[in-house]
Amino acid sequence: MSDNDIALKPKTKSKPKLDRPKLYKVILFNDDYTPREFVVMILKAVFRMSEETGYRVMMTAHKLGSSVVVVCAKDIAETKVKEAMDYAKEAGFPLMLTAEPEE
Ligand code: TYC
């Protein structure tokens, strides 16, 4: 190799992988007081679900005690939980949702 040759080193350093931000599950909980139609209305208005999907998610919570509504970024999950519970509070219903980190 002469002095003018450039020795090309293979790039061996790999970029450290950035951890993906954790996803959050929005969970809907059953109660004995909130009307079914109101729950479906909330799922349609806040979570942009169709009538059919909203009804299915509501019935899952009604029968099993809880249902996953959506999995998304933390800030979106928390904002939607607050929005849904604010609507319910305003209407005088004890509807409960939470945002929980995925395992
Ligand atoms: N259990 C309620 C009723 O029978 C309906 C309901 C369903 C409430 C799902 C909350 O997350 C819920 N009126």
Q: Dump pLDDT digits (tens) for 57-75.
A: 999 999 999 999 999 999 9
* 14 pLDDT above the threshold of 90: no
Q: How far apart are CA 45 and CA 6, in angstroms?
A: 63
Instruction: Give me the sheet containing 23-29, strands edge to edge.
Output: 66-73, 23-29, 96-101
pTM value is: 0.84
Evaluate whether residue 90 is within a structural domain. Answer: yes
- The residue range of the domain holding 79 is 34-101
**pLDDT number for residue 1:** 43
Mutate to test the pocket of ligand 1, among 32, 38, 39 (most ligand atoms within 8 A of CB): 39
Instruction: Band the pLDDT of 19: cuts 50, 70, 90.
Output: confident
- Both tokens assigned to 48: 């942009």
Residue 83 lies in a domain: yes
Give me the pLDDT at residue 34, please: 98
Joined together, the tokens standing for residue 79 give 């904002």
Query: What's the mean pLDDT when you consider all of the chain?
Result: 91
Structural contact between residues 95 and 85, judged by C-beta atoms closer than 8 angstroms = yes
Q: Is residue 49 part of a domain?
A: yes
- Is there a domain that residue 66 lies in? yes
Cβ proximity of 26 and 68 under 8 Å: yes
The domain that contains 77 carries what CATH number? 3.30.1390.10
Residue nearest to atom 13 of ligand 1 (CA): 35
Q: What pLDDT is recorded for position 17?
A: 75
E strand segments, 16-95: 23-29, 66-73
Q: How many domains does the chain have?
A: 1
